[in-house]
Amino acid sequence: MGLALEEARAAAAGGDVPVGAVIVHGDSVLGRGRNRREVDRDPTAHAEVVALREAARHDGIWRVLDCTLVVTLEPCPMCAGAIVNARIPRLVHGCDDPKATAVLGRCPLRSSESCGQMGRNYCNGHDQQPTVHHPD
């Protein structure tokens, strides 16, 4: 979470909303990202997506298996979908985002048969058994 917070501070220094993310595999950091919407003028440049792109380049495949994504703020629906599509099995988020929870509480992933189990677990976790982990 410390590295994710460093990324969040860098995002703020660049004029973006302070959100940071890292993707770790064991002791290795495969991807780092910070919110870059303002800097890149890209509405999809959320910290999680930036980190996922870097991690996918690291291994040369789009599946980011056996990793943990650590992000400072609860993911939005776009990032939750990207996390599911990348096959990230574990998500740790720092603080809750009431907007994301409100949206994900009605997330279409929760009832979709085409989405992976992680997506269903993630979306259902907001009002049932949480599968999202908070750091101590």
- Is residue 120 part of the contact set for Zn ion (CB under 5 A)? no
Q: Return the ∠ at Cα 98 (arms to 121 and 31), rounded to 5°.
A: 60
Quick one: which of 73, 76, 109, 118 contacts Zn ion (CB under 5 A)?
Answer: 76
Q: Which of residues 77-116 bind Zn ion (CB under 5 A)?
A: 79
Quick one: which of 32, 36, 46, 126 contacts Zn ion (CB under 5 A)?
Answer: 46
For residue 37, CA distances in Å to 18, 29, 88 come to 11, 23, 23
| CB-nearer residue toward Zn ion: 97 or 129 | 97
Catalytic residue IDs:
48
Q: Determine contact, residues 52/23, Cβ cutoff 8 Å.
A: yes
* Residues contributing to the site for Zn ion (CB under 5 A): 46, 76, 79
